[in-house]
Structure formats: C-alpha cells, structure tokens
Structure 1
Amino acid sequence: MTKDFAFKLIARDGGTRRGEVSMPRGVVRTPAFMPVGTAGTVKAMYMEQVNELGADIILGNTYHLMLRPGAERVARLGGLHTFARWEKPILTDSGGFQVMSLAGLRKINEKGVTFQSHIDGSYHEMSPERSIEIQGLLDSDIQMQLDQCVALPASHKEMEKAMELSLRWAERCKTAFGVQAGKAMFGIVQGGDNEKLRERSAEALKTLDLKGYAIGGLAVGEPQEVMMAMLDVTCPLLPEDKPRYLMGVGTPDDILKSVARGVDMFDCVMPTRAGRHGLAFTRFGKINLRNARHAEDPRPLDPESPCPAARDYSRAYLHHLVKAGEALGGMLLTWNNLAYYQQLMEGIRAAIEENRFTSFTEETQAQWVAGDIAPYPA
C-alpha cells in the first residue's frame, strides 16, 4: 500500500499487462475483476465472502446511491467503506450510464443531465461537478468522470456529439476533483463503434494527464468483434504507465480477449445477475441449473473448486433451489460465479508472469464445453 495512488507494471506477455494499483486502502492486482456493489451491496453476498474470494476492489454506483439512501446520508454515517463494511478500495461509476439507461424523462445539455428517478419519479440534476461531489461524499478511492454513453447502433452524429460532450465534462470533472491524496479520477474514452472518434477521444483525454483511463460505451449491444476492434484502436493510444479499465465487461471470453489487448480492470453484473437467475459459470463452461437434466444429478458443479458453493452442493439440490424460487439458490450460484471469476483472474495473472498467456487462454477455452452435457467425467 502507498500514501498516494500509484500504478506499476510487473510483467508483460505480448500485449498483456500484469500490474498493481496501489492506494492507501490496499493494492489491486491487475488484471482485476471488480464485483459490482451497485447500491452498497454485492447482491446475494456478504462482504466477508467477497473478500475471501480474493477481490481487491469493488464497484459502487453514484446514480443508485444518490437516490437511495443518499450520498449525504452515507457521508454522515462514515462513508461507503464504513457503511458497507468493505475496507479495501472502492471504485464508483459516475452514474452516467444509469441515467441514460434507467432514468425516466431526461434532458441533456452542456450543464449536465436532468432526470426522473426510476424509483419514485422525483426529479434530480447531475452535473459533472455534482457527480464528483457525490463520489467524494461516498469517499470512493477511484472516481469516474461523468460521461454520455449512447446505445449502439447509433448515428455518427449522435456518437460524435456524445463523445465531445464527454470530453468537456471530463475537463470539468478534473477541475472539480482537484488534487486528492491517495485517490484518482479516471477519464472515459467514448466514440461508439467509430475508430476515428475513439482515437480523438483517447488523444484528447491524454492531454488531461489523468491517473487512469476507462474505455466506455461498449458491451451496449454491439457484437464482440466490434468491441475488440475498438480495443485494438484505443488501447495502444493510452499511456503505458496508467491503468486501463474496460467498463461493464463482461463474459469470461470477453475478459480473456480484452486482457490480450492490454486491459487491466473489469467490472460486470453478469456473474451476480446470472447467479440469481440459475446460471453457473464454471471452468467447464456455463451450466443452466433450471434444466431438468440436473434434477437427479448428485455431482457438484466442480469437485476441485475451493469454493464451497461449487464443491459441496449437488446439482440436484441447486436445481431444486432454483426451481423452488428459494433465495439460497441465488446466493450459492452467485458465490460460485464470483469465485470462478476471481479464479480466472488469478490464473490470468499467473500466466502473464510466467509468459504463457496464450497457452492459458487456449487451455481455458478448450475446457468451456456445453456445461449441461457431462462437463467432467461421472
């Protein structure tokens, strides 16, 4: 740990990067996956479990926390770390994506966004300055600029307008953030699926000399090959000595392919959301516990997993819990999924250090068979 925010590269293997982000509250080993704690909770998990799985950092969300319970209340109660009982680093998303995707009526202008809460219909304003203020009240360690994210496909005019507005907002966020010892503000590269817009966004953000750079506006409906093409353009333009964060991504395959292109940090609701809906991620691929084939299967999800949810409970029992709508089913499958994601990241980091990332990727992908069809010998 350090008194200030710092990033160092430890190893390289082709385009991959093994590094460490150091902050007063802890060290984040990269490549890293951040479990999503949107509203101050990683859904269906105790924070002690999340910590034991090996997560170095979690994500919180400005939009959700400003609406409920309110950033000022969280501040009065000691900040998000104390409130949620998580002592390690927290990254907060600015709330821009949620304003665009969840809010009701909304109006975007140079000042910011006026929107209607999806909870009670009340009206709120979110400016770049207010987003940074809220993240400061939450006392997060990494704070994201407010940006405008557009769903794909979109017109060139729409993507360009959102990208340029996001750049202007990034400058205002940097001014509002100022200098905060031990903390960082990241900018967000936008530009949709247009290579030239991505290049313009990345080059302009570099001039702000921020402590980290995110790649946003992907995993919003475009095919995987489009996302990878945008990473091929963007990652080489970003500073070598700053962490790179791909927002809202993704599947295990997305992560492997993005790490190969130089991404350091990830977050996604997929492992927790899938768990609550009966889907397990394992080293053998995805297993849908809703399927009747599991009703009398006494095998666990993975007998060699260090996670009790994967190792100690039969597929038949998990199937029963899911079909019966028991909360424990979602809890166990979420536990399994987050464990698998952290095991995947641990394997990625070791492979980069040992200069075998390509073979690790090939071996991992080879194991991903149709999980419902005897993924390991009976």
Structure 2
Amino acid sequence: MIVVVGIGADGMDGLAPASRRELAGATVICGSQRQLDLLDESVTAVRRPWPTPMLPALRTLLDGVEGDVHVVASGDPLLHGVGGSLIRIYGADQVAVLPHVSSVTLACSRVGWAVQDTEIISLVTDQVYAAVRKGGQAVVMSRDGSTPATLARLLTDTGRADSQITVLEQLGGPAERRRSATAKEWAARPPADVDDLNVIAVRYLPDERRFGVLPDDQFAHDGQITKQSMRAVTLAALAPRPGELLWDVGAGSGSIAIEWCRSGSGCRAIAFERNEQRRKRIETNAQSFGVNVLVRSGAPDVFDVEPPPDVVFLGGGISQQGLMAACWDRLRPGGRLVANAVTVESEAVLTQWYSREGGELRRFQHYRAEPVGGFTGWRPAMPVTQWSVTKA
C-alpha cells in the first residue's frame, strides 16, 4: 500500500492526528527535499528525495519494499499533485490519501473568493499562456518564483494589463506573504524575491468572456478563416468530447482549432499550416485565448506526430493530391473526419470519398443583408459543401 500524506508550509504543526500517526509509524517516506525537510524528529523513517525525472521513480515505488511506502506531498495531493499520478499507476485500492488544506483553498480564503467560482490552473508543467483568460478569476499554481512576472508580462501583452494579481507565498506557514498589483504594474517592476512556493490569484480584466462560437474579429486573420456561421455548423459536426485531439489541416487562422479547445475540458489540437506567417498568427491567436494548440508546418509532410488524432478537420488543401488519403490513414478507428469545400475541385474529392466511405454530405448557403441603394437586399456567401464521417 502507498500512503500519501499532504503537508503544508506550517509543517508538522498543521497536520491532523491521523497524518501524524501515519508518518510516525512509517519505515520509508518519499517526497521532495523541501517537504521532507518539514518533518521533525518524531518521524524516524528512511527519507528518500524524489529523483529527476520523478515519473520513473513512481513506477518503481513498491519495488523491494516490505510493507507500506509513505509519500509526503504539498497540500492536497489530489489537486494537481502526486496522489492522482499514483492512483493512475497503481489503482485506487493500492493508494490511500490523507489530504491537507490545499493551496487553492488557502488562496481563496485570503482574497475572499468562493472556491466553486474560481478556476484552478496549474503551470507546474504547462506553458504560461495556459493561464491567459478573457475574464473571470483563477488561482494559478506557479512553477517557481519567476512565474508571476512571466504571467504578468503575458497578460499585459495580450490586452489584460488591468488584470488584478495577488501573489501569495508560503501559504499557511510562518513566512506567508501577500503582494498585489495590476499585471501592468507587476510586469514593469517585478520583485526579485518571490518565493518558489507561490500561487497567483488573478482577476482577469477587462471581462470579455463570450460563450458559443466567436465573431470573426476575435481572431487575427488575413481572410483565410472559417466564418462564424460556418464555424458553428462545423463545430457541431466535429462534436468535441472531453480530452480528444483534433488535427486542423489547412488551419488558416486556427479558428477551428481554437474553438475546439475552448469547447470542452482537455480538448487539444494540432494546427497544420504551410504558410509561415499564418503559423505565427495561429500561435498568437491561441495564446490570446490560453488554449493548447500545437502549430506544425504543411500537411501531410509532418503527419508523423503521435498520438493519432481522434478527429480531423480539413478546411483547406482538399484537392491536394494524397492529402485526404493521408488524413484518413492517420485517423484512428472510430475517429471522426469533417471536411469543408468551396471549390468545384474540392467538392469533387468529397463526393468521391462520400461514395466510398458513406457519412453525411451537406451543402450550406448563407446570406447577409446589405444595402441596395436606399433598400436592403440579400448578398450570398460562397456555398460550402461539408462531408462528415466516422471511420469504421
């Protein structure tokens, strides 16, 4: 059995009696050196600091050990912590967790926020742009003392300079400290003495959150963008599910990939685009929304990425020789493919694949009201043919 004990910056003084008893009776305790140093002389077990990298050590934790192995972890080990990793490896019946008060709960108590109204974002392993939002509030778990300044600069660069940030260090311990500023102020004069053990409470301003499919002007683009109305029906056909990976082939501005990532928990995307300027634009768009889009060069030359996609969207290049076949070959069984065509040549390719693989073939025509002299008339957009299919 593996017993994971959460411990705070207040060390042994903050532990519940059950946690104290577990540590007092332990024979082997693993953890980071910082957490092991919080244990006092009442704990006589052998102390094993985590090596780098840590994951291989987790998989061999029980090797050559008789009895239980104990692990000390920061705060609540099931909140972006080692507890969840151990349960995934060994199963819930082999891992017991004794949680401490989490840093998120402590942070919310310090700034007066309800936990259920607060997003939790971890930058321990993720890139800093994952903590960019268009509004709302979040507790951001930092990687180290440089994270607050890096996030403040990114918020300033992406139009969130007025966001209010509160950096909370050594929460719950005798050296606890709290400092607040706007993102712009923190970025201009970042303190040099921020403790590595910190979290950031962020209220994102201005609040420009929008749900549903976004207007076209929310994206930087050069005209190569799936327009809002077609984006809505395309997202409906793609049918995102939690944790799925999308390949957006011929991505243009990356609007489909970004909308995909915004649509559900854990949704990820890879955007394939030949044009270098557009690739840079996709990266800028993705960072402005804080979503996980990996940008690659032209398809199908770089289709060697793993894992294979759950869903593929083709918004451009459909008539390119071999592209559709390459996408189909890489799509996993049970995966979904959606392709939009506006040219006769691309439409012919979709018709051929529809005849061979089935699915649904639809055509969409949209009209927009525009002035005609002193009156109003309907101006048609280019019709779009869409093929959607599930791979057997």
Same fold (TM over 0.5): no
**Structure with the bigger percentage of helix:** 1
Greater C-alpha Rg: 2
**Structure with higher RCO (Cα < 8 A, 6+ apart):** 1
* TM-score bracket relative to the smaller structure: under 0.3
Bigger strand share: 2
